[in-house]
């Protein structure tokens, strides 16, 4: 086996639209990378994204970028429908790949890319940006440490006046953020098993602009997501209710993004109640402390690109690998089917495969 490379990872970014320039800025700001190319079908847009004095090369010819031996890794920030072909070409050229969310436009395409990367021993990462925020890191460790107790429910609202996308509905545009966070923070062994989706297109855009997802988890817990492009106010809140504590994350409140409440409702074991009381009350309201933890300040995208470099240099899967991207696409695809079926609960492929005894690597059992 060839010795692992050391030093900065040579990288190319594909897609100079809204998001690609953010990747460019973070690769250029990192000592772990050397950016060699910015590629876009519109080469002038690629040049503009680099700026007038950049020495990074701009191209509209992807094959030329892939033929450059300095390029070890490719970051793909193009529309979802193009992710499969661009990622497969990069993997076939022996490059590590970072793909923007969602990993692919459907489950079959995502699975193909994941399996190709695994076959070739290359790193495949999905940019689930929120997983690299201090808030989500904190939530994940709070759940893993058991301090929240068993997760009973998760309720999330992500609404604002958003750009009505030409190619995807609001579920595919906004819900990947929440679904990737759910995937990242759930304890090992707890997985979504089915999804029911409802949507509305009140402005006649041709696709759902308001969407609601309800997921059933493998331990019986419930997760609900509201995403909306038509809301005049911006809301980004998530509540996670546990058997011991409840956490509220308000991402628009930088002074107090997370609050952990030792308040809740406990069921009193009925053997502790006399007959009279048993008929009247069986719950006990807890009213304890409220804690707002100090969270670090860091740009999530900066942490994400460092995780990509670490995965490449150590040969270990990044925290949000291709399998994590695939689990999110699985839920989105099932949600689209549920929308077509008027909100019926649709089982997830990853869980079906797991139940059938098929090895689904990366899916916690």
Q: Which stretch in 18-26, 104-112, 218-226, 236-244 sits in contact with ligand NAD by CB under 6 A?
A: 18-26
What CA–CA distance (Å, rounded) separates 242 from 142? 11
Q: Does 214 bind ligand NAD (CB under 6 A)?
A: no
Q: Closest CB to ligand NAD among 12 and 197? A: 12
DSSP assigned state of 292: -
Q: Which residues pair with 98 in a beta bridge?
A: 75, 125
Q: Does 80 bind ligand NAD (CB under 6 A)?
A: yes
Q: Which residues pair with 59 in a beta bridge?
A: 39
Q: Which helix (H) or strand (E) is 281 found in, with range?
A: none
Residues between 299 and 328 with contacts to ligand NAD, criterion CB under 6 A: none
Q: Which stretch in 33-41, 179-187, 188-196, 208-216 sits in contact with ligand NAD by CB under 6 A?
A: 33-41
Residues between 123 and 162 with contacts to ligand NAD, criterion CB under 6 A: 127, 129
What CA–CA distance (Å, rounded) separates 209 from 222? 23
Task: Give yes or no for a contact between 113 and 103, defined as CB atoms under 8 angstroms apart.
Answer: yes
Q: Closest CB to ligand NAD among 131 and 197? A: 131
DSSP assigned state of 321: B
Q: Does 17 bind ligand NAD (CB under 6 A)?
A: yes
Task: Find the shortest distance in angstroms from Cβ 257 to ligand NAD.
Answer: 17
Q: Does 100 bind ligand NAD (CB under 6 A)?
A: yes
Q: Does 89 bind ligand NAD (CB under 6 A)?
A: no
Q: Where are the alpha helices (DSSP H) in the chain?
A: 20-28, 43-50, 62-66, 80-92, 107-120, 134-144, 170-185, 275-280, 300-314, 322-340, 349-355
Task: Find the shortest distance in angstroms from Cβ 62 to ligand NAD.
Answer: 6
Q: Which stretch in 15-23, 234-242, 261-269, 283-291 sits in contact with ligand NAD by CB under 6 A?
A: 15-23
What CA–CA distance (Å, rounded) separates 357 from 346? 20
Binding site for ligand NAD (CB under 6 A): 14-20, 39-42, 45, 62, 77-80, 82, 86, 100-101, 127, 129
């Amino acid at each position: 086996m060839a010795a692992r490379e050391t030093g900065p990872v040579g990288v190319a970014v594909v897609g100079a639209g809204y998001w690609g320039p953010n990747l460019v800025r973070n690769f250029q700001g990192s000592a772990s990378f050397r950016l060699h190319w910015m590629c876009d079908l519109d080469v002038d847009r690629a040049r503009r994204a680099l700026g007038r004095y950049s020495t990074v090369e701009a191209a509209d010819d992807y094959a030329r970028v892939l033929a450059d031996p300095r390029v070890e890794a490719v970051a793909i920030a193009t529309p979802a429908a193009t992710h499969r072909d661009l990622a497969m070409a990069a993997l076939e050229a022996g490059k590590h790949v970072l793909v923007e969310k969602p990993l692919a436009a459907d489950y079959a395409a995502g699975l193909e890319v994941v399996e190709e990367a695994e076959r070739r021993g290359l790193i495949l990462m999905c940019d689930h940006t929120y997983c690299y925020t201090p808030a989500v890191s904190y939530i994940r460790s709070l759940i893993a440490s058991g301090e929240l107790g068993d997760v009973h429910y998760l309720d999330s609202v992500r609404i604002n006046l958003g750009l009505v996308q030409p190619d995807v509905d609001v579920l595919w545009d906004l819900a990947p953020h929440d679904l990737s966070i759910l995937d990242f923070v759930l304890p090992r062994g707890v997985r979504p098993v089915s999804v029911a989706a409802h949507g509305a297109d009140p402005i006649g855009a041709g696709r759902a602009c308001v969407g609601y997802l309800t997921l059933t988890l493998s331990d019986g817990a419930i997760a609900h997501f509201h995403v909306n492009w038509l809301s005049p106010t911006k809301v980004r809140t998530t509540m996670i209710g546990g058997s011991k504590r409840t956490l509220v994350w308000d991402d628009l409140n930088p002074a107090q993004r997370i609050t952990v409440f030792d308040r809740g409702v406990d069921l009193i074991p009925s053997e502790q109640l006399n007959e009279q009381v048993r008929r009247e009350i069986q719950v006990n309201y807890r009213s304890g402390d409220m804690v707002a933890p100090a969270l670090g300040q860091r740009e999530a995208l900066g942490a994400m690109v460092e995780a990509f470099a670490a995965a490449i240099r150590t040969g270990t899967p990044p925290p949000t690998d291709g399998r994590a991207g695939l689990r999110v696409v699985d839920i989105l695809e099932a949600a689209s089917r549920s929308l077509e079926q008027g909100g019926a609960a649709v089982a997830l492929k990853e869980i079906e495969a797991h139940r059938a005894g098929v090895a689904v690597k990366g899916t916690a059992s």
